[in-house]
Amino acid sequence: MQSVPSQAIRPLSLNASLSSSRLPFFSFSLPIFHKFKINPSIYNKSQKVPLFLTLRCCSSGSVTAKPSSEDRRNRDVQEPDEKVVALRRLFSKPGIGIDAYIIPSQDAHQSEFIAECYMRRAYISGFTGSAGTAVVTKDKAALWTDGRYFLQAEKQLSSSWILMRAGSLGVPTTSEWLNDVLSPGGRVGIDPFLFSHDAAKELKEAISKKNLELVYLYDLNPVDEIWKESRPKPPNNPIRVHDMKYAGLDVASKLSSLRAELVGTGASAIVISMLDEVAWLLNLRGSDVPHSPVMYAYLIVEVDGAKLFVDNSKVTKEVMDHLKNASVELRPYDSILSEIRRLAAQGAQLWLDTSSVNAAIVETYKSALDKYRSNLGSKGKIKNKRYDESNGLSEGPSGVYMRSPISLAKALKNPAELEGMQNCHLRDAAALAQFWCWLEEEIHNNVELTEVDVADKLLEFRAKKEGFLDTSFDTISGSGANGAIIHYRAEIGSCSVVDPNKLFLLDSGAQYIDGTTDITRTVHFGEPTAREKECFTRVLKGHIALDQAVFPENTPGFVLDAFARSSLWKIGLDYRHGTGHGVGAALNVHEGPQSISYRYGNTTPLQKGMIVSNEPGYYEDHAFGIRIEAKLVDISLISDDEIEWLNNYHSQVWEKVSPLVEGSARQWLWNNTRVIHKQ
């Protein structure tokens, strides 16, 4: 599934035991927290990446971006939106006083998937895609989203909203648009908990060019004010301990390695806000967020202690004992800012990853530090000189602003994590074999099935497998044109019936106790057209090219992205998403810092132990979408080496999955893993 990132054949692991891919396997060992030599000022300047995917144009074809006004298909007559009208009424209230308000997709932890009570952008706009930003002014409402969601947004937005196809030619960014539509001196409000510090800083700088002011609304969120009683309650599910046989490393060892990093950078503590980083570091798992086994919490690790900020009602006795053994104290979730102030008042040198820690925390720390330095009086009393984020010397503590070391440590899977990922993928493959066998038989018997029926049946097969917990994202079950909507979600009442004469795309994944899966298949139950077969085969060729890539040590993922696109480029085609994303071990299905994408700003090298998906695709608007079944392969387009690769892959599937299925599912697997010969 693409979210900076959709999976084609299987995850690509930079580990010899998990993949047959010819990749550089390094023999040296790495510390748990591999050190990045990063100058804080360089980090802050170089880590700025586009919020949205950019449109890529092939020289052999032409792509014309529509102006925003033309994107409002069938919206010539605007209808009043009651929620937007109610939101605007709050703009002039005492303590608010704004001319525009920005509603992002994120929660306070920059999560991809968020609890329902934090889905503010979806509530206010009606657009349910996972990525996008809504902006409401006193007389306009606009929504930005990327290429994965253009078609979905067209369907879901009312006539009150302007759709901004982010990254397309001629479409302004949110800040450019605000600079254009607001008068100088205008005030733009945000909830500082919902923006990373870097994002807020970049926004502030961008709108200041037209003398606009960014206003932090700490004490209330205007969307929550109009949501009122209908707003869902915050999740209150119990936390569980992630067993050592799956985690592979105890909490004490992880904390010890992290503290060594703190000492090395001169920091006295680190603030961790990314939910998967908290879960990984403490060997805990939760169910507060759909599709991701995490819990809402902050963590502060000091040189001599640690504090977990979480709703105490979620903490079971087993979890309490687990935390006590690791010398981790509990604090209320809402007390994070007061603890930041307390540490700053003591002159604490906090490590903050400003690309993920929210602006509320960072600005609270900086403000409290200013007060601390002021209270000390003369400069001579301050002996601890550190570099601040602009790389200029300042007196006293000023903070350490660097990438979190936990992100890379989590991405480099240990043997137990890799084993869990292998095992859960095999069980998942068995569920899929049973599912496809069932679906083909139903279609053959002319049973009418909706896209929702199909997704529900797949969940039924998966739920029977050992260790199944949840889906890892909303299943994308798309027949025909719906398959061209990259993150399409079938819903009862509006979904399509699966048409046996059209391509059917199924992108799905699961969370198991020992690992996380993400897999896509595209099938045709009748006779595919020559066009469909060519497009599919070129996607397959790209997948094989990436799988067979041999590259030097320390190569970043963006260098490999063109391998997957090359075959499509030859006929002027492309796809509007990255090629591969990291996958967590019983954690988030999309995981950084590594990726395989045209986003050249991500220079993280691919290393042994990382798991990366390999998922090129192609989407023909209003026609079909493709992401990887043998019936669709045009043999005339693939080489002998590619046929050998495909046959080897099918051989591995039969060898590893056939022992886990029986009866008709086993026969189906045999029929679909037979040797392919060049005609």
Q: Give the pLDDT score at 49.
A: 34
Residue keyed to tokens 């963006």: 558
Q: Could you give the angle at the alpha carbon of 450 between the alpha carbons of 4 and 670, nearest 5°?
A: 75
For residues 13 and 414, what is the distance between their CA atoms, to the nearest angstrom?
Answer: 12
Return the minimum-mean-pLDDT range out of 69-73, 230-234, 590-594. Answer: 69-73
Alpha-helix runs per DSSP H in 445-474: 451-463
Dihedral class, residue 58 (left if φ above 0, else alpha if ψ from -120 to 50, else beta):
beta
Three-state DSSP at 383 gives coil
What pTM does this model have?
0.86
Q: Give the pLDDT score at 342.
A: 97
- DSSP-derived pairing of the beta strands 141-145 and 162-165: parallel
Q: Give the pLDDT score at 79.
A: 62
Q: Give the pLDDT score at 374.
A: 85
For residues 491 and 488, what is the distance between their CA atoms, to the nearest angstrom?
Answer: 10
Burial class (CB in 10 A: 0-12, 13-18, 19+), 650: middle
- To 10 degrees, the CA torsion angle through 27, 28, 34, 35? -130
Residue keyed to tokens 């799956």: 246
**pLDDT surpassing 90 at residue 76:** no
For residues 231 and 221, what is the distance between their CA atoms, to the nearest angstrom?
Answer: 13
Q: What is the mean pLDDT of residues 83-107?
A: 96
b/e map 458-478, b = 16+ CB within 10 Å: bbebbeebebbbbbbbbbbbb
Which of 479, 484, 474 has its CA nearest to residue 496?
479
For the chain, helix (H) and strand (E) counts, in that order, are: 20, 28
**pLDDT surpassing 70 at residue 65:** no
Return the minimum-mean-pLDDT range out of 470-479, 625-634, 666-675. Answer: 625-634
Q: What is the mean pLDDT of residues 187-208?
A: 97
- Per-residue pLDDT reduced to its tens digit, 156-166: 999 999 999 99
- Write down how long the chain is: 679
Element (H, E) at 240: strand 240-241
Three-state DSSP at 347 gives coil
Q: For a pLDDT cut of 90, what percent of the chain falls above it?
A: 77
For residues 164 and 134, what is the distance between their CA atoms, to the nearest angstrom?
Answer: 10
Return the minimum-mean-pLDDT range out of 130-139, 385-394, 412-421. Answer: 385-394
Residues paired with 358 in a beta bridge: 196
Q: Using 50, 70 and 90 to split pLDDT, how confident is the model at 53?
A: very low
Percentages helix, strand, coil for the chain (3-state, rounded to 5) are 40, 15, 45
Q: Give the pLDDT score at 13.
A: 43
For residues 602 and 491, what is the distance between their CA atoms, to the nearest angstrom?
Answer: 35
For residues 72 and 534, what is the distance between their CA atoms, to the nearest angstrom?
Answer: 33
**pLDDT surpassing 80 at residue 195:** yes
For residues 91 and 138, what is the distance between their CA atoms, to the nearest angstrom?
Answer: 8
Which of 511, 532, 569, 507 has its CA nearest to residue 5?
507
b/e map 516-538, b = 16+ CB within 10 Å: bbbbbbbbbbeebeeebbbbbbb
Which of 100, 65, 110, 85 has its CA nearest to residue 174?
100
Domains and their CATH numbers in the chain: 82-230 (3.40.350.10), 240-376+398-404 (3.40.350.10), 412-673 (3.90.230.10)
Q: What is the mean pLDDT of residues 253-271?
A: 97
Q: Give the pLDDT score at 601.
A: 83
**pLDDT surpassing 70 at residue 38:** no
Q: Using 50, 70 and 90 to split pLDDT, how confident is the model at 679?
A: low
- State the average pLDDT for the chain: 87
Q: Using 50, 70 and 90 to split pLDDT, how confident is the model at 377?
A: low
For residues 404 and 99, what is the distance between their CA atoms, to the nearest angstrom?
Answer: 35
Q: Using 50, 70 and 90 to split pLDDT, how confident is the model at 638?
A: very high
**pLDDT surpassing 70 at residue 675:** yes
- Per-residue pLDDT reduced to its tens digit, 432-455: 999 999 999 999 999 999 999 999
**pLDDT surpassing 70 at residue 429:** yes
CA atoms within 13 A on the CB side of 620: 16
Alpha-helix runs per DSSP H in 266-316: 275-282
The answer to whether 678 and 640 have CB atoms below 8 angstroms apart is yes
